[in-house]
Protein backbone atom coordinates (compact mmCIF):
# COMPACT_ATOMS: atom_id res chain seq x y z
CA UNK A 1 0.00 0.00 0.00
CA UNK A 2 1.32 3.48 -0.81
CA UNK A 3 2.65 5.64 1.97
CA UNK A 4 -0.11 8.03 3.05
CA UNK A 5 1.86 10.70 4.88
CA UNK A 6 5.45 11.68 4.25
CA UNK A 7 7.90 10.74 6.96
CA UNK A 8 9.95 13.56 8.42
CA UNK A 9 13.68 12.98 8.61
CA UNK A 10 14.57 13.33 12.32
CA UNK A 11 18.07 14.49 11.34
CA UNK A 12 16.79 17.51 9.40
CA UNK A 13 15.16 20.75 10.42
CA UNK A 14 11.57 21.14 9.28
CA UNK A 15 9.30 24.12 8.98
CA UNK A 16 6.97 24.39 11.98
CA UNK A 17 4.10 24.78 9.52
CA UNK A 18 4.93 21.45 7.85
CA UNK A 19 5.21 19.67 11.20
CA UNK A 20 1.92 21.18 12.42
CA UNK A 21 0.15 20.25 9.17
CA UNK A 22 1.34 16.63 9.31
CA UNK A 23 0.34 16.35 12.97
CA UNK A 24 -3.10 17.77 12.17
CA UNK A 25 -3.62 15.35 9.28
CA UNK A 26 -2.49 12.41 11.40
CA UNK A 27 -4.83 13.34 14.27
CA UNK A 28 -8.04 13.73 12.22
CA UNK A 29 -9.79 10.49 11.20
CA UNK A 30 -11.55 12.08 8.21
CA UNK A 31 -8.27 13.48 6.89
CA UNK A 32 -6.56 10.12 7.34
CA UNK A 33 -9.37 8.43 5.36
CA UNK A 34 -9.19 11.07 2.62
CA UNK A 35 -5.38 10.72 2.53
CA UNK A 36 -5.67 6.94 2.23
CA UNK A 37 -8.21 7.16 -0.60
CA UNK A 38 -6.29 9.80 -2.55
CA UNK A 39 -2.99 7.95 -2.02
CA UNK A 40 -4.54 4.76 -3.43
CA UNK A 41 -6.42 6.55 -6.23
CA UNK A 42 -3.17 8.22 -7.27
CA UNK A 43 -1.26 4.95 -7.55
CA UNK A 44 -0.56 2.61 -10.44
CA UNK A 45 -2.20 -0.21 -8.45
CA UNK A 46 -5.48 1.72 -8.78
CA UNK A 47 -5.00 1.83 -12.55
CA UNK A 48 -4.17 -1.88 -12.81
CA UNK A 49 -7.16 -2.90 -10.70
CA UNK A 50 -9.47 -0.79 -12.84
CA UNK A 51 -8.08 -2.14 -16.09
CA UNK A 52 -8.66 -5.68 -14.86
CA UNK A 53 -12.09 -4.94 -13.36
CA UNK A 54 -13.34 -3.13 -16.47
CA UNK A 55 -12.05 -5.84 -18.78
CA UNK A 56 -13.77 -8.57 -16.74
CA UNK A 57 -16.96 -6.53 -16.48
CA UNK A 58 -17.08 -5.80 -20.23
CA UNK A 59 -16.27 -9.35 -21.27
CA UNK A 60 -18.19 -11.37 -18.67
CA UNK A 61 -21.00 -9.46 -16.98
CA UNK A 62 -22.50 -7.10 -19.53
CA UNK A 63 -23.08 -7.03 -23.20
CA UNK A 64 -22.97 -3.92 -25.37
CA UNK A 65 -23.20 -0.97 -24.59
CA UNK A 66 -22.41 -1.56 -20.88
CA UNK A 67 -24.98 0.74 -19.21
CA UNK A 68 -24.26 -0.42 -15.65
CA UNK A 69 -20.50 -0.05 -16.10
CA UNK A 70 -21.04 3.48 -17.41
CA UNK A 71 -23.09 4.33 -14.32
CA UNK A 72 -20.48 2.86 -11.96
CA UNK A 73 -17.63 4.70 -13.68
CA UNK A 74 -19.55 7.99 -13.59
CA UNK A 75 -20.26 7.64 -9.88
CA UNK A 76 -16.65 6.75 -9.18
CA UNK A 77 -15.48 9.80 -11.17
CA UNK A 78 -17.76 12.04 -9.08
CA UNK A 79 -16.34 10.74 -5.82
CA UNK A 80 -12.73 10.79 -6.99
CA UNK A 81 -13.04 14.37 -8.23
CA UNK A 82 -14.43 15.29 -4.81
CA UNK A 83 -11.37 13.77 -3.12
CA UNK A 84 -9.12 15.66 -5.53
CA UNK A 85 -10.86 18.91 -4.56
CA UNK A 86 -10.52 18.05 -0.86
CA UNK A 87 -6.80 17.51 -1.41
CA UNK A 88 -6.48 20.76 -3.35
CA UNK A 89 -8.31 22.71 -0.64
CA UNK A 90 -6.06 21.24 2.05
CA UNK A 91 -2.96 21.95 -0.03
CA UNK A 92 -4.13 25.52 -0.57
CA UNK A 93 -4.70 25.99 3.17
CA UNK A 94 -1.27 24.51 3.87
CA UNK A 95 0.42 26.82 1.35
CA UNK A 96 -1.36 29.83 2.85
CA UNK A 97 -0.30 28.87 6.38
CA UNK A 98 3.29 28.35 5.21
CA UNK A 99 3.30 31.66 3.33
CA UNK A 100 1.94 33.47 6.40
CA UNK A 101 4.58 31.81 8.59
CA UNK A 102 7.37 32.68 6.15
CA UNK A 103 6.14 36.27 5.89
CA UNK A 104 6.01 36.71 9.67
CA UNK A 105 9.49 35.21 10.02
CA UNK A 106 10.92 37.44 7.27
CA UNK A 107 9.32 40.52 8.80
CA UNK A 108 10.84 39.67 12.20
CA UNK A 109 14.25 39.19 10.56
CA UNK A 110 13.88 42.50 8.72
CA UNK A 111 13.10 44.31 11.99
CA UNK A 112 16.05 42.63 13.69
CA UNK A 113 18.39 43.50 10.82
CA UNK A 114 17.16 47.10 10.81
CA UNK A 115 17.80 47.39 14.56
CA UNK A 116 21.26 45.86 14.14
CA UNK A 117 22.06 48.24 11.28
CA UNK A 118 21.04 51.24 13.41
CA UNK A 119 23.12 49.96 16.33
CA UNK A 120 26.15 49.47 14.06
CA UNK A 121 25.66 52.98 12.67
CA UNK A 122 25.54 54.46 16.20
CA UNK A 123 28.61 52.48 17.27
CA UNK A 124 30.45 53.56 14.14
CA UNK A 125 29.66 57.20 14.92
CA UNK A 126 30.87 56.74 18.50
CA UNK A 127 34.12 55.10 17.36
CA UNK A 128 34.61 57.83 14.77
CA UNK A 129 34.03 60.53 17.36
CA UNK A 130 36.44 58.93 19.83
CA UNK A 131 39.16 58.44 17.19
CA UNK A 132 38.84 61.76 15.40
CA UNK A 133 38.01 63.82 18.46
CA UNK A 134 35.81 66.86 18.90
CA UNK A 135 37.16 68.53 15.76
CA UNK A 136 35.32 66.07 13.55
CA UNK A 137 32.02 66.91 15.24
CA UNK A 138 32.37 70.54 14.22
CA UNK A 139 32.67 69.60 10.56
CA UNK A 140 29.61 67.37 10.60
For the stretch 25-69, pLDDT in tens is: 777 788 788 878 888 888 899 989 999 998 888 888 887 777 888
Domain boundaries, the chain: 16-111
- CA nearest to 38, candidates 97, 100, 72, 88: 88
Q: How many CA atoms lie within 13 A of 59 on its CB side?
A: 6
pLDDT digits (tens, 9 = 90+) for 1-22: 444 445 666 777 767 777 777 7
This prediction has a pTM of 0.51
| CA-based nearest residue to 24, from 10, 35, 37 | 35
What length does the chain have?
Answer: 140
pLDDT recorded at residue 114: 96
More confident of the two residues 130 and 100? 130
Q: Are 77 and 84 in contact (CB under 8 A)?
A: no
Amino acid sequence: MPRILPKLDPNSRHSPVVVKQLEHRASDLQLRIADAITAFAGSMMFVYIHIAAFAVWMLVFEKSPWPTLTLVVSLEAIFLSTFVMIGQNRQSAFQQAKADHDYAKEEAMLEENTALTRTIHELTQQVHASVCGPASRATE
